[in-house]
């Protein structure tokens, strides 16, 4: 008996020890839960007992340089969500059917979300006010719980495709995916708000719950350096050039050389950022359904790509100013040493024979100025030999050509230069005139800005101001001069040579009436043999007296009947952009139209006047009056073509209308490569007026040949003294 008692005692002791250990474990676990992990479990309890819905912040507005034109803005829309556990099982089918009907969605897809075992499901976002009100009315009328309509925002681009690649676009979550929208996303996006409500353990809303609304903080607004008017001018002419010359794409940029402000930047073809995932060109639309998912992604990225900053190409002869800068800064030559260089039509470097664009003809003896004016490759190869590889590479680095410009946009590419350690005499020769190296269109513009502003390398930028909508915050972006890459003397010499190139050299196609223009043509070669694709280019500066604008235009792989030369294809585009932009900016002309060879006068307003009065007014100014019908002298004029305020050459006609008769139309004749005199006669016979820029042979015309326009309208033709252009 005593033995059994002792045994029981031992058993009891063991049980007590085990219980003690378990108690200690439970105590430690309690400490762990209550103290160490208290925050974690408190949050879990909060998450289980509450539900929060995000309230989107209003994304900041993007304005053009004037601060008045809205380029991107967010408008209020709604988001419809459901709380599946809060919808009675017997109501789920009816709720899904009604929501699908109102929101124009697939009923089965909506029903899947309504039946899910989750705390919240989004049925539709970006819902307009009308549909949102229908949903709210349905919820109210039927007493439906578990369906919510909350605030949301939708990004809108009022000017559709204008500035698309620069602005970029946002995703479904209103976060920037490209362009300014992506680069300045933190400034634009703001901080979302939320709505917090109570739920039971199963995630259902509790009766009489009080929801807490935490307001979102709206994003900051942004003011660009880009002027919407200048941008529209650039896009108009660039789009026309790409289409007329069957180019793969075109690029253009306008800089203010003194500050680096980008006034316009365009890539064509473009897209609509309101619908960024839809094909935009007719060619892409036709093949879209046949493409794989990967192919569609590739095509979309090509469409979105801002090629002005993201694509590098061999620039061609616009690069020659870099070589000329090195030569003048190193005192290897001066601008006007007569006969210092010679062009025999080609030049042998090692085993290579490199031709001038004029081959088999030659330019003969030339100075550096004449080499620039004639865009003569042998001159620049000879200059490059005198500079030498080591010194030349120092200037390539000085221009930051082996790096980025630092523009405030995503996706900028780095220029591609030869490695100084392995660079050969042939590399030096080809680089001297812009081949076998690659830079972006923007880098070319920055180079020409240095010539225009007295020798300073500026950092280009597209945003000049960030501010809050309520006025509590404002930040202005200052322009940056990175360094001086040439003396003012060198810059002035190059500017003079480039002006001579426009007045008497290969760049006459970029001339602008009333303004002194400096410019340089280019025809770059990208790839070799069967893969060869040309880059036609032109860089312009105006006015030379006090440079306000630098404009660079490039067309990649033009395949039209006009060839691939920069003078022919891009010069007239740059000239037109400079012409309209300078006049829009009210930049004073360097000389009056009356001082030029062709006299133009402003057309008076003839409406409300009698035919007799109109004839007298027009005859006094050197115009004549025409009409599609027989007119009596006492008839009152109701309309006229061209409109009042336009300018016309002396001897032109103004077509008038005395009733509501629709103006007659005519197809624009093709006068390219004809003399200006012959073109004028052709247009006159067609009932059209003409504005002539330059003299000699017609290089381009606007509107495009074949366009249908009203009789009496003005066709502008750009002429050059010779059709022999690089």
Is-contact 622 651, C-beta < 8 A? yes
Q: What is the DSSP letter of 492?
A: H
Collapse the DSSP code of 639 into the 3-class scheme (helix H, G, I; strand E, B; otherwise coil) and give the result: strand
Cα dihedral sign for 490, 494, 500, 506? positive
Collapse the DSSP code of 226 into the 3-class scheme (helix H, G, I; strand E, B; otherwise coil) and give the result: coil
Q: Is 624 a catalytic residue?
A: no
Is-contact 319 434, C-beta < 8 A? yes
Residue 109's φ and ψ, nearest 5 degrees, are: -65, -40
In this structure, what token pair is assigned to residue 198?
């109570």
Instruction: Report CA dihedral (697, 699, 703, 708) to the nearest 10 degrees.
Output: 60
Q: Which of 178, 241, 252 is nearest to 441 (CA)?
A: 252
Distance, C-alpha 668 to centroid of its chain: 31
Instruction: Report CA dihedral (527, 529, 530, 531) to the nearest 10 degrees.
Output: -10
- Listing DSSP states for 417-449 in one string gives ---TTT--HHHHHHHHTT-S-BB-HHHHHHHHH
What are residue 365's DSSP bridge partners? 342
- How are strands ordered across the β-sheet holding 653-657? 624-626, 653-657, 639-641
Chain length of the chain = 726
In our burial notation (b when 16+ CB lie closer than 10 A, e otherwise), range 307-321 reads bbbbbbbbbbbbbbb
- How are strands ordered across the β-sheet holding 249-256? 261-268, 249-256, 549-556, 533-542, 518-526
**Among the options 74, 317, 581, 635, which is catalytic?**
317
Q: How many CB atoms lie within 10 A of CB 169?
A: 23
Is-contact 429 437, C-beta < 8 A? no
H/E stretch holding 96 reads helix 92-103
Residue 196's φ and ψ, nearest 5 degrees, are: -115, 130
Provide the strand spans (E) within 87-238.
Answer: 121-127, 147-156, 193-198, 212-214, 221-224
Q: Which of 409, 157, 382 is nearest to 306 (CA)?
A: 409
558: Cβ contacts below 8 Å, ≥ 6 apart: 245, 246, 247, 534, 536, 564, 569
What are residue 251's DSSP bridge partners? 267, 554
Collapse the DSSP code of 167 into the 3-class scheme (helix H, G, I; strand E, B; otherwise coil) and give the result: helix
Collapse the DSSP code of 591 into the 3-class scheme (helix H, G, I; strand E, B; otherwise coil) and give the result: coil
Q: How many CB atoms lie within 10 A of CB 660?
A: 7
CA distance 522 to 538: 6
Q: Which of 236, 237, 76 is nearest to 151 (CA)?
A: 76
CA distance 435 to 673: 30
- Active site positions, annotated: 317
């Amino acid at each position: 008996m005593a033995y059994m008692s002792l045994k029981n005692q031992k058993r009891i002791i063991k049980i007590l020890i085990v219980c003690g250990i378990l108690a200690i474990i439970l105590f430690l676990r309690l400490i762990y839960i209550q103290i160490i992990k208290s925050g974690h479990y408190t949050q879990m309890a909060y998450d289980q007992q509450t539900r929060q819905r995000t309230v989107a912040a209003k994304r900041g507005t993007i304005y053009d340089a004037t601060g008045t034109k809205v380029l991107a803005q967010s408008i209020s829309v709604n988001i419809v969500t459901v709380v599946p556990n809060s919808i009675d099982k017997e109501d789920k089918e009816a709720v899904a059917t009604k929501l699908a009907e109102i929101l124009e969605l697939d009923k089965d897809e909506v029903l899947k979300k309504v039946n899910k075992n989750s705390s919240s499901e989004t049925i539709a976002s970006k819902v307009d006010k009308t549909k949102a009100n229908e949903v709210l009315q349905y919820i109210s009328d039927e007493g439906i719980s578990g369906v919510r309509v909350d605030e949301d925002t939708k990004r809108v681009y009022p000017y559709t495709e204008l500035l698309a690649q620069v602005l970029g676009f946002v995703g479904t979550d209103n976060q920037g995916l490209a362009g300014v929208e992506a680069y300045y996303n933190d400034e634009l996006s703001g901080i979302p708000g939320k709505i917090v409500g109570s739920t039971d353990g199963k995630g259902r809303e509790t009766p009489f719950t009080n929801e807490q609304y935490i307001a979102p903080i709206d994003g900051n607004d942004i003011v660009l350096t880009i002027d919407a008017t200048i941008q529209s001018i650039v896009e108009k002419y660039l789009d026309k050039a790409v289409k007329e010359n069957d180019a793969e794409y075109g690029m253009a940029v306008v800089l203010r050389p003194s500050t680096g402000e980008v006034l316009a930047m365009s890539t064509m073809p473009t897209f609509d950022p309101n619908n960024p995932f839809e094909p935009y060109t007719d060619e892409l639309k036709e093949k879209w359904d046949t493409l794989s998912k990967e192919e569609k992604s590739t095509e979309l990225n090509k469409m979105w790509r801002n090629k002005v900053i993201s694509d590098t190409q061999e620039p061609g002869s616009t690069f020659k100013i870099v070589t000329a800068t090195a030569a003048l800064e190193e005192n290897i030559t001066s601008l006007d040493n007569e006969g210092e260089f010679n062009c025999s039509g080609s030049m042998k470097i090692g085993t290579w024979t490199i031709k001038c664009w004029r081959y088999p003809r030659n330019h003969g003896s030339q100075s550096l100025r004449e080499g620039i004016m004639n865009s003569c490759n042998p001159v620049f190869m000879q200059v490059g030999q005198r500079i030498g590889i080591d010194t030349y590479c120092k200037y390539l680095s000085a221009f930051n050509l082996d790096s980025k410009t630092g523009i405030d946009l995503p996706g900028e590419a780095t220029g591609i230069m030869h490695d100084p350690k392995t660079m050969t005499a042939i590399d030096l020769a080809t680089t001297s005139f812009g081949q076998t190296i690659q830079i972006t269109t923007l880098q070319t513009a920055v180079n020409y800005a240095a010539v225009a502003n007295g020798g300073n390398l500026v950092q280009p930028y597209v945003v000049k101001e960030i501010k809050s909508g309520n006025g509590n915050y404002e930040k202005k972006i200052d322009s940056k001069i990175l360094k001086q890459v040439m003396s003012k003397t060198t810059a002035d010499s190059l500017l003079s040579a480039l002006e001579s190139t426009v007045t008497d050299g290969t760049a006459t196609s970029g001339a602008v009436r009333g303004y002194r223009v400096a410019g340089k043509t280019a025809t770059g070669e990208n790839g070799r043999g069967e893969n060869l694709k040309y880059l036609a280019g032109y860089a312009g500066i105006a006015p030379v007296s006090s440079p306000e604008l630098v404009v660079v235009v490039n067309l990649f792989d033009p395949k039209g009947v006009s060839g691939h030369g920069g003078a022919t294809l891009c010069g007239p585009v740059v000239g037109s952009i400079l012409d309209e932009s300078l006049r829009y900016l009210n930049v004073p002309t360097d000389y009056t139209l009356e001082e030029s060879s062709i006299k133009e006068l402003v057309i008076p307003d003839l409406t409300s006047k009698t035919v007799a009065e109109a004839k007298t007014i027009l005859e006094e100014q050197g115009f004549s009056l025409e009409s599609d019908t027989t007119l009596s002298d006492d008839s009152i004029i109701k309309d006229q073509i061209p409109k009042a305020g336009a300018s016309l050459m002396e001897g032109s006609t103004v077509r008038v209308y005395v009733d509501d008769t629709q103006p007659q139309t005519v197809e624009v004749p093709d006068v390219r490569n004809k003399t200006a005199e012959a073109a004028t006669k052709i247009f006159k016979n067609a009932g059209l007026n003409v504005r002539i820029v330059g003299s000699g042979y017609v290089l381009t015309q606007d509107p495009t040949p074949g366009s249908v326009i009203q009789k009496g309208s003005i066709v502008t033709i750009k002429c050059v003294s010779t059709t022999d252009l690089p």
